[in-house]
Amino acid sequence: MGMPETALIKQHLIDPEICIRCGACEAACPIDAITHDDRNYVVDVNICEHCMACVPVCPTGAIDNWHNVPRSLAYTLEQQFSWDQLPALLTEAQLAEFGAADMAIDAPLTQKEEAAQVAAAAEPDPSGETPFDSSAYNSTLPPWSGAHAYTNLYGPRAAQKTATATVTGTLRVTEVGKEYDTHHIVLDFGAMPFPVLEGQSIAVLPPGLDARGKPHVPRQYSIASPRNGERPGFNNISLTIKRVLQDYDGNPVRGVASNYMCDLKVGDKVEIIGPFGNSFLMPNHPKSHIVMICTGTGSAPMRAMTEWRRRLRKSGKFEGGKLMLFFGARTKEELPYFGPLLSLPKDFIDINFAFSRTPDAPKKYVQDLMRERAADLAPLLADPNAYFYVCGLKSMEEGVMLTLRDVAVQAGLNWDEIGGALKREGRLHLETY
């Protein structure tokens, strides 16, 4: 029997004012209830089951909005795509007009209902194969020794809407003349407080209006510098940004924010909101190990973590554990920071490069290198002091996670126990887009 059209539902909505279009909610949704266009991320009321998987991964809280509406007046995808801000909550008088004020609300699942749903989903597939969900192992908890992260200091809901940063440096970090034009951009905040940690991100507000005459929406970028600044002791950060000239399908397109940022000159001003992120953070206790797996500009948070550990090592006041980096690109010319990475001491970091388009050489991806280093990765998977970070294109995520599973199984480890511990202990973090 279907739900009466006058029945109240608690509709899940995304606030476009504070959403930074990072895609974390869409990636976390197990049933594809969340989608997006070139402006907004939206939730399909006909698919959403209130499983809450998307809520903890949202860096701004934009995902955590619920409106009581009669089923017949549920907001459509077309309406949500057109919003610049959420509509006002319906009053009791408005609900009464539709005969819905006294109806029970179809609320989000209780913990018991959610547990039953999870158990049902875990039942074996009739085919004998259980689908592998890589995102199910992503932890929303920071490492226990992670420093306290400050978030949302600047933004639509903050006392100060934006922070103004000045460009103090811009450098191309891929070979000139190659297709991948990637820049290392340094932004200085002067006297404005902007505390950040390795693994956090900010969002840039490009100037001008879009095709609809609306201000451009924020674009998110991971911070590539450590907590004490790109230049130690200075109130600045760095970003790693690739100029976008085609979409994921290879069609020509000019990325609004990426081209704006890559064209900036020293002295230009940039409007920033953030910082964001309180789980993709590095451990700070002695002898903790870090395994970093990335492609392209997904190297930004890995550079931040590596540089902070390098500075700690240089100070002689911190005994770090093993650092391993698996870094993939099409060719070495398109890999950001290739030269500087080669100069890092071998006893400081174990670097593994994967190139998929090197002429006259077999294709290699990060997961191929991980399999080659299985003997070194397996002990780290079982070590409670080892932390794993994956950042890059969404297409890499499943291959990387399947490889970690296979490495564990081949070493005689129980993957269900290992995978559960990685998530439960804040030791595995996925940031793919």
Residue of 218, 222, 171 whose CA lies nearest to 196? 222
237 in Cβ contact with 230 (< 8 Å): yes
Q: Give the other-Cβ count within 10 Å of 274's Cβ.
A: 29
DSSP 42-103: EE-TTT-----TTTTT-SSSTT-EEEEEEGGGPPPHHHHHH-SSPPPPPPHHHHHHTT-TTS
In sequence order, the β-bridge partners of residue 172 are 183
What is residue 225's DSSP assignment?
Answer: S
3-state secondary structure of 150: coil
CA atoms within 13 A on the CB side of 340: 12
In sequence order, the β-bridge partners of residue 290 are 323, 387
Task: Give the pair of three-digit tokens for residue 94.
Answer: 């408005």
242 in Cβ contact with 258 (< 8 Å): yes
Greatest alpha-carbon span in the chain: 72
Residue 207: CB partners within 8 Å, gap ≥ 6?
216, 260, 271
* Burial category of 328 from C-beta neighbours within 10 Å (exposed 0-12, middle 13-18, buried 19 and up): buried
162 in Cβ contact with 180 (< 8 Å): no
> How far apart (Å, rounded) are the C-alpha atoms in residues 121 and 116?
9
Catalytic-labelled residue, pool 135, 201, 222, 258: 222
Catalytic-labelled residue, pool 221, 260, 337, 389: 221
The amino acid sitting at 59 is P
106 in Cβ contact with 12 (< 8 Å): no
The answer to whether 288 is a known catalytic residue is no
400 in Cβ contact with 370 (< 8 Å): yes
The answer to whether 431 is a known catalytic residue is yes
The answer to whether 222 is a known catalytic residue is yes
> How far apart (Å, rounded) are the C-alpha atoms in residues 311 and 317?
10
> How far apart (Å, rounded) are the C-alpha atoms in residues 36 and 56?
19
Residue of 392, 399, 332 whose CA lies nearest to 361? 332
Give the residue numbers marked as catalytic. Answer: 221-222, 391, 431, 433
